[in-house]
C-alpha cells in the first residue's frame, strides 16, 4: 500500500491509497469550494442522560443522480475526488456529523433540563474504487487488502488527534439505512466519546477482569468455535460467526484469533487473511436474498 496526501482547494485533506507506487497527482487538486457551515450539535435526553447527535445540515449532502461526486469523470463542480484513476481514496467529509475541537461547554435551551452542546470530532469518507458500478464483493482480494490498510492507517492517525476517544470505520449500503450514494464507499468517524454500545462492552470487559476472568471476547470466541453450529467461516487468523444473542435478522461477527487492540496493530498476514475472509462473508450475504441487502 502506498499513501500520498494532498490539500484540496477548500482546505480539506485527501489521502490516496494505491496498490502500486508511481502515480503522480496535483499538489492541490481542484475540489468543491463551497463548504456548508457545520451545524451538528449534541442534545441530552433528560430521561436517559444520553447525548443524541443532531446533524440537520446533512440533508443537503449529495445524492445519487446524474453525476456521482465520487466518480472522477464527473464535472469539476461536482467531483469530490478530482483526479484520474485511483485505487482507494479517503477525504474529509464536506457534511460532517462531527466537527471541531472538544471542550466547549453545553448550553441550556430554555431551562437546565434541555441541554445542548457542540458536536466535536472528525468525519471522513472512504471510496473503495473509482469504478461506480462495483461493490466490495466484486473487488479483488488485493483491493480489499488496500481498504483494510486504509482503515488501519486512518484509525492510527485519527487516534492521535486531541480529544478522540473512539475511531469507527463503517459502511451504510442502501437507501433503507440512509446511504445517499450508490458508489461503493464507507465512512470513518473519530468520536470525542465512546459510543454507548462500545462503552457497555468496555465496562463489561473491565468487570470481568476485576472478577479474575479472562477477556470476555476471547472466551466468546472460544465458546463459538467449540460450539461450531454458528460458525460461518474460519481462517488462520479470523473466525466469522453468527452471535448466540444476535440482534438482527442477518448478523455476523468477525473476531481476530489473536488478542489485539485495534486494526493498526494487525500484522501483515492478519491483514491479508482479513481481506479474504471479509470478502467471503459479504459474498455469503449476497446469496441469501433476491436483492442486495441494506
Catalytic residue positions, numbered: 185
| Residue linked to cell 501483515 | 268
DSSP calls for 231-270: EEEE-SSEEEE--TT--SSS--EEEESS--SSGGG--HHH
Q: Which three cell numbers stand for residue 1?
A: 500500500
Strand 253-256 and strand 238-241: the pairing is antiparallel
Nearest to 284 by CA among 221, 241, 228, 235: 241
Whether residue 51 contacts residue 97, with contact meaning beta carbons closer than 8 Å, is answered with: no
Amino acid at each position: 500500500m502506498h499513501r500520498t496526501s494532498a490539500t484540496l482547494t477548500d482546505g480539506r485533506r485527501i489521502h490516496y491509497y494505491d496498490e502500486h507506487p508511481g502515480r503522480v497527482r496535483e499538489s492541490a487538486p481542484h475540489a468543491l469550494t463551497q463548504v456548508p457551515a457545520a451545524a451538528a450539535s449534541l442534545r441530552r435526553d433528560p430521561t436517559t442522560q444520553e447525548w443524541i447527535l443532531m446533524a440537520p445540515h446533512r440533508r443537503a449532502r449529495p445524492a445519487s443522480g446524474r453525476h456521482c461526486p465520487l466518480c472522477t469523470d464527473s464535472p469539476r463542480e461536482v467531483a469530490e475526488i478530482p483526479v484520474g484513476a485511483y485505487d482507494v481514496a479517503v477525504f474529509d467529509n464536506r457534511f460532517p456529523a462531527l466537527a471541531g475541537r472538544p471542550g466547549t461547554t453545553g448550553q441550556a435551551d430554555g431551562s437546565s433540563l434541555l441541554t445542548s452542546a457542540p458536536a466535536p470530532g472528525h468525519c471522513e469518507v472512504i471510496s473503495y474504487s473509482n469504478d461506480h458500478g462495483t461493490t466490495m464483493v466484486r473487488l479483488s482480494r488485493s483491493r480489499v487488502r488496500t481498504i483494510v490498510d486504509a482503515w488501519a492507517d486512518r484509525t492510527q492517525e485519527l487516534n492521535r488527534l486531541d480529544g478522540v476517544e473512539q475511531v469507527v470505520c463503517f459502511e451504510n449500503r442502501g437507501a433503507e439505512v440512509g446511504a445517499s450514494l450508490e458508489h461503493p464507499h464507507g465512512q470513518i468517524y473519530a468520536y470525542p466519546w465512546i459510543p454507548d454500545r462500545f462503552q457497555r462492552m468496555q465496562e463489561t470487559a473491565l468487570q470481568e477482569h476485576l472478577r479474575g476472568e479472562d477477556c470476555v471476547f476471547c472466551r466468546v470466541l472460544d465458546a463459538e468455535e467449540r460450539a461450531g453450529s454458528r460458525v460461518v467461516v474460519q481462517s488462520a487468523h479470523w473466525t466469522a460467526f453468527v452471535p448466540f444473542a444476535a440482534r438482527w435478522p442477518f448478523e455476523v461477527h468477525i473476531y481476530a484469533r489473536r488478542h489485539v487492540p485495534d486494526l493498526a496493530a494487525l500484522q501483515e498476514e492478519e491483514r491479508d487473511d482479513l481481506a479474504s475472509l471479509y470478502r467471503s462473508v459479504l459474498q455469503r450475504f449476497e446469496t441469501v436474498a433476491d436483492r442486495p441487502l441494506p
